[in-house]
Chain A
Amino acid sequence: MNEIKTGKEKLQKALLEVSKEYLENIELAPEDSVSFSPKLEKNMEQLLQSRQKPCWKLINSPLKKVIAVCLAVVILIGSVLGCVMAKEPIFEFFTEVYEKFTEFFFEDENEGASDVITEVHTLTYVPEGYELVESPTLTGDNNELYTVWENNDGEKIIFYQSAFVTKTTIDSENAQKGILSNGLQIVMIQKDKVIYIYWNDNQYAYTLIVQDMNEKQIIEILDSFA
């Protein structure tokens, strides 16, 4: 084992030296040729700002239309997740792991999908300690709607309803899918302590985002979807 460890270190040391030589010999344009257009500066500033704020806070920013979309990662799960009733605990269904990116589609005809939200869905239950801080709020062209609850620790529950999209791709690495007791077929993705849950009813797409929450609580929230 030591031989492998020291061999790895030797290889890394050699690669580091090669990298240093690369940097020493790198060719750059003259310093006085450098300028940054206002547009580029603005874009980069936005990139920096987006990394300065946790996602949870962005929902309240002026960029909420854009960020809400990015944050919620609108998903449409039609043909992939047709309706099948089943009564199983959530964890038993979280078994299918997607390799990378997964596309979700409405069914081919997509006749039921709405361009705008005409029927507002909500969650009738959130765990104790959470208070409503954003009532259902429409964004964009009445095609996106979100609701936010928050507890004393600043942890948020975000419920997102979206119309209009016919096909999208999500970063579904390590995604798992399952069926809830109320028949909802969902896809769950966990990023650190943040859990994203997606489903649709072939009319709208829904996203639930929770932070550091156990399965029982998540099931109860999803069961209250109305």
Chain B
Amino acid sequence: MLQILLLTIENDDDKLIFEEIYHKYKKASMRRALKLLNNNKYDAEDAFQKAWLQISQYLNRLESHDDSVIATYIMKTIEFKAIDVANENNEYRGKLEPAEINPQEYISDDLMYQVCNRERHEMIVKVIHSMNEKYKDIMIMAYLQGFDVKSIAEQLNINEKTVWTRLYRGKNILVEELKKRGIYHE
């Protein structure tokens, strides 16, 4: 099947930013890919190329242009693609089906913000740190980088339902842990 994506017309600023960012992070991102893929140069180049192709498509959707946000996005994209490359021949990934969301798990964004608002910064950081990587990554992509569920699913090569599941669970962990450990209900 021929599968072609529409090219997106972007303004000159977007193009300049991408080129600048590529040159800025080119070496570091390759070092990260090599590290994650046990210095297998072939796999690292594969992951590197896939990551930057994806970055070129999604970079202009980043909500924040903070250097740390951009750097995290790039390095995480390298990680995701390195994992993809490492798992390429592994059928297990495709067979994973997300569990159904328990309605009780549903936490609205507003409730999460309200809880965060009443909590100390250090405690919020601590709880996020304690999360499983897969929830933490989704929380960062959704609430810091500003990607919607569809974009996250495309970039992580997982289905949208899985993204929703991880998002719900990430929010649930954050709110429940803040309630347990923090001052919200004190």
Contact = CB atoms under 8 A, between A and B. Distances in A.
Contact of A33 (B7, B31, B53): B31
Given A7-B112, A19-B68, A55-B7, A34 B52 contact: no
Contacts of B39: 29, 33
B2 A34 contact: no
Choose among A8, A22, A44, A165 the residue with the greatest number of B CB atoms under 10 Å from its CB.
A22
A130 B183 CA distance: 67
B43 to A, nearest CB: 12
A163 to B, nearest CB: 13
Interface residues of B, number: 59
A54 B9 contact: yes
B87 interface: no
A7 B31 contact: no
A168 B3 contact: yes
Nearest to B78: A26
B31 A18 contact: no
Given A23-B75, A33-B39, A44-B22, A17 B9 contact: no
Interface stretch (B94-102, B119-127, B161-169): B119-127
B152 interface: no
Contacts of A103: 1
A158 to B, nearest CB: 12
Nearest to A55: B7
B34 A34 contact: yes
Interface string B134-145: 001001100110
Contacts of A20: 68
A28 B49 contact: no
A51 B53 CA distance: 11
B147 interface: no
Contacts of A73: 4-6
B121 A71 contact: no
Contacts of A33: 31, 34, 39
Contact of B35 (A29, A50, A171): A29
Contact of B9 (A6, A69, A192): A192
Interface string A6-28: 11101111111111111100111
Interface string B145-173: 00000100000000000000000000000
Contact of B3 (A14, A28, A54, A169): A169
Contacts of B9: 54-55, 191-194
Contact of B34 (A29, A40, A191): A29
A91 B3 CA distance: 28
A189 interface: yes
A167 B8 CA distance: 22
B15 interface: yes
A-B complex: 6 closest residue pairs judged by Cβ atoms: A7-B113, A7-B117, A29-B34, A28-B31, A14-B124, A19-B72
Interface of B: 1-10, 14-15, 18-19, 22, 26-28, 30-32, 34-35, 39, 41, 45, 48-49, 52-53, 56, 64, 66, 68-69, 71-72, 75, 109-110, 112-119, 121, 124-125, 128-129, 136, 139-140, 143-144, 150
